[in-house]
Each structure stands twice: as structure tokens, then as C-alpha cells.
């Protein structure tokens, strides 16, 4: 097994790193603003992402995307994860399941997203249904030519800037989980609250209510009853990307802490000369190295023909669980190495400490990841731990 990057992957990593450094210039501006950046600047940064080939990285090149494999996407997202304030949302990554739309849906919804003319947001979580999307209470009732959608969705990431939402709701008396394209400007759609969270993200996570929102039959994605499987596929990719970004964030935090420890003197010596600091640095390096390797492995497996999707679902959960929890440990240690300055919001390590906390919650809590992994082991044995064979 050759674990070296190809020349093309090395160039991709370089371009992603260069773009991430561009975003880093605006971290403090975003923090001071409480998250958002001026639209003219966002437009400029979007164009830069397109020019660098790191926009819509999960969409086919023939549709205008970057056409990257999952491993290549992980390489990019790892670099993006080094940027604070969720500025990695600017180089937009459309929901992967948009690719399952028919030709009309692709023209109306997906292609404008790839061209940065529109933005999508995935609406699954509800007040009473977070970790278990199958327990949602949003409904779609049959009407002439389509459906009437009623319900409430919370924590709709980037819903404040989205033009349309992918809404999961139970369709008909059989309550079949289904994904619906919903225009955010449609009658009956209301953005009721934009919560303020621990981290200052460039885009928000608003709450929506849907009251008798008409959705035409042609705006059902993948067919009635296909919603839960599509949502699971979305979760698989998103969990891998979270794993990649948290590895990247941890690496930047360690680099900053290492540099600080080498330069900062106390009691007449650099603090890097003290074994308690060395121990923290070493533990950080181990957390990063192990989780980078596993995240790359799972992404590579996902790109191989014939990969079992159920096993992949569990492996993506493993990557997300391990990397997000490890990154939290790394950020905590690195903040400690910085001492009082680590608690100052003008230091990137402080922002990482706050921002990495949510990675153990969104796209499935750590506890849910453990249940997914355990269920795979119980039902199918320890194959989830194995490397693929020819």
C-alpha cells in the first residue's frame, strides 16, 4: 500500500493550504463582527476558491465542480480545518445528495450552487429529534400536484444564507421519510430564530417553521420514501469531512503551541525544555498522526469500487468520533501551553478551543457514533475494523 500523495494530490494540498492562509487573514475580522463578513469580501473569496479549484469539490467536473475523490476532498478539508470562524464555509461544498436529482432538479438547484449563484442547506434536526432523524415530526400531506409541508427544523447550518432547503419530512399516512426541495422564500416558510452559539461562525444555524408550505411533486428528491437513506449518505460524507477538518485544526493548534513553547521563556529557559510541556506536545502529535492516518484510510476505502456502504457508514462514524474527540484534547492542551494568552480571543488557539466543541455534537453526537459502531460490530462482527481485501 503506497501512502504517499501523488504529484496531483501534493499540488491539491498546496492549493488548499494557500487558500486556507488567505482565509486566515480575515479570522479576527470575523471574530470581531461576531461571524459574518461583508458580502463583497465573501464574493471575492468565493471567486478565489473557484480559481484555486477548491470550490464545490464534491461535484463532478462535467457539472462545473472540482470532481475530487473522497480522499482528495479529505486532503482539502484538512487544510480548511486550520481556519477558524468556520470560514471554510465560503468555499462551498453542496450537499452530496443533490447529485441524485433528476435533470430538471440539477438545472434548477444544483448547477446554480456549483456556480455560486445559489446556496443550499440541509434541514433535518428538530426540537425533539436531534440524534435520531427518524423520529422527526415534520409531515408532508398529499394535495393536488404536490405536498403540504408542516413542521419545524432547528440548527439548519448556513440556512441564513441559503436560497433553498433540503427538508426531511414524513410523507403521507405511511409516514415515509422523504427529502423535499423547499424555496426559502416560499409562502409558509419562516426563519424564526438565529441562535448565538459558543463559536462565531461566518454563517449561522437558524431555526425554521413550515406552515402549509406547498412543494410540487417535481421537487421531491430521489422519490418518496428515499429520504432516510439519502440522509444517511449525506451523514457519511459529512462525518468524514468533520474528521478531516478537526485533524487540520488540531495540527494548526499544535504548530502554534510548539512555536510558542520554543520561544516563551520562564524561569530562565524556554518552556519547551520542561518535560510537562513536552508531554503535552507529544500527546498532541500522537492524536493528530493516528487520526489523520485513519481518516485518509476510510476516505480511500470509500473511493474503491464495491465498498460496502453499511461498513463504510460505521467507519465514517469511527473517524468522526475519534478525530473530533482527539482534536478537543489537543486544543485543550495547546491552550494550556499558551497560559493566559490562550484564553484571549485574539489568539487562534482560543477560537479553536471553542469551535472544536461542536464537532462532538453536530452530524451526530459522539454517543450516537458509538451506537452506530457498536451496532455494526454486534450485527456483522469485527469486519468494520479490517482493511479491504482484493
1 assigned to some structural domain: no
pLDDT tier for residue 309 given thresholds of 50, 70 and 90: confident
Asked whether residue 1 carries a pLDDT value surpassing 80, the answer given is: no
* % of the chain exceeding 70 in pLDDT: 100
Check the CA dihedral 43-48-51-52 and report its sign.
negative
Residues 42, 176 share a domain = no
pLDDT tier for residue 335 given thresholds of 50, 70 and 90: very high
Residue pair 252/353 in contact by the 8 Å Cβ criterion? no
Residues 244, 208 share a domain = no
Residues 127, 69 share a domain = no
Q: What are phi and psi of 122, to 5 degrees?
A: -100, 120
Query: Any idea what the CATH number is for the domain that residue 84 is in?
Result: 1.10.540.10
Asked whether residue 80 carries a pLDDT value surpassing 90, the answer given is: yes
Domain holding 68, by residue range, is 7-93
113 assigned to some structural domain: no
Query: How many other β-carbons are positioned within 10 Å of the β-carbon of residue 208?
Result: 22
Residue pair 104/270 in contact by the 8 Å Cβ criterion? no
When pLDDT is averaged across residues 120-129 and rounded to a whole number, the result is: 94
Residue pair 136/126 in contact by the 8 Å Cβ criterion? yes
Residues 84, 146 share a domain = no
Asked whether residue 368 carries a pLDDT value surpassing 80, the answer given is: yes
103 assigned to some structural domain: no
Longest dimension (CA), the chain: 80
Q: What secondary structure does DSSP assign to 228-258, as a single string?
A: HHHHHHHHHHHHHHHHHHHHHHHHHHHHHHH
Closest Cα partner for 68 from 155, 118, 6? 6
Beta strands in 72-206 (DSSP E): 120-123, 139-143, 146-153, 164-171, 176-183, 189-193
Residues 237, 217 share a domain = no
Last residue of a domain, one of 170, 200, 223: 223
In the predicted model, what is the mean pLDDT of the chain?
A: 96
Asked whether residue 48 carries a pLDDT value surpassing 80, the answer given is: yes
Amino acid at each position: 500500500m503506497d501512502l504517499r500523495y501523488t504529484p496531483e494530490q501534493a499540488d491539491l494540498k498546496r492549493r488548499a493550504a494557500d487558500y486556507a492562509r488567505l482565509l486566515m487573514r480575515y479570522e479576527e475580522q470575523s471574530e470581531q463582527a461576531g461571524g459574518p463578513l461583508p458580502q463583497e469580501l465573501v464574493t471575492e473569496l468565493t471567486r478565489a476558491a473557484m480559481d484555486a479549484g477548491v470550490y464545490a469539490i464534491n461535484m463532478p467536473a462535467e457539472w462545473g465542480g472540482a470532481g475530487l475523490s473522497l480522499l482528495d476532498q479529505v486532503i482539502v478539508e484538512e487544510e480548511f480545518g486550520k481556519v477558524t470562524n468556520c470560514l471554510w464555509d465560503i468555499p462551498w461544498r453542496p450537499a452530496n445528495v443533490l447529485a441524485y436529482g433528476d435533470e430538471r432538479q440539477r438545472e434548477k438547484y444544483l448547477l446554480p450552487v456549483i456556480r455560486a449563484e445559489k446556496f443550499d442547506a440541509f434541514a433535518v434536526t428538530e426540537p425533539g429529534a436531534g440524534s435520531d432523524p427518524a423520529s422527526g415530526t415534520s409531515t408532508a400531506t398529499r394535495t393536488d400536484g404536490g405536498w403540504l409541508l408542516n413542521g419545524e427544523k432547528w440548527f439548519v447550518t448556513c440556512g441564513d444564507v441559503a436560497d433553498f432547503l433540503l427538508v426531511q419530512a414524513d410523507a403521507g399516512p405511511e409516514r415515509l421519510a422523504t427529502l423535499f426541495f423547499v424555496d426559502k422564500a416560499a409562502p409558509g416558510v419562516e426563519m424564526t430564530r438565529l441562535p448565538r452559539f459558543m463559536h462565531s461562525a461566518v454563517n449561522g444555524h437558524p431555526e425554521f417553521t413550515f406552515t402549509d408550505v406547498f412543494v410540487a411533486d417535481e421537487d421531491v428528491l430521489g422519490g418518496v420514501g428515499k429520504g432516510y437513506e439519502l440522509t444517511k449518505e449525506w451523514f457519511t460524507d459529512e462525518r468524514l469531512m468533520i474528521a478531516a477538518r478537526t485533524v487540520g485544526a488540531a495540527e494548526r493548534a499544535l504548530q502554534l503551541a510548539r512555536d510558542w513553547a520554543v520561544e516563551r521563556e520562564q524561569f530562565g529557559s524556554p518552556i519547551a525544555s520542561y518535560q510537562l510541556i513536552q508531554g503535552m506536545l507529544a500527546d498532541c502529535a500522537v492524536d493528530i498522526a493516528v487520526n489523520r492516518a485513519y481518516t485518509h484510510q476510510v476516505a480511500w476505502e470509500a473511493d474503491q469500487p464495491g465498498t460496502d456502504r453499511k461498513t463504510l457508514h460505521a467507519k465514517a462514524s469511527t473517524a468522526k468520533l475519534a478525530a473530533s474527540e482527539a482534536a478537543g484534547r489537543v486544543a485543550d492542551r495547546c491552550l494550556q501551553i499558551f497560559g493566559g494568552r490562550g484564553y484571549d480571543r485574539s489568539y487562534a488557539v482560543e477560537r479553536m478551543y471553542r469551535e472544536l466543541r461542536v464537532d462532538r455534537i453536530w452530524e451526530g453526537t459522539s454517543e450516537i457514533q458509538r451506537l452506530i459502531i457498536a451496532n455494526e460490530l454486534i450485527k456483522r462482527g469485527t469486519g468494520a475494523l479490517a482493511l479491504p481485501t482484493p
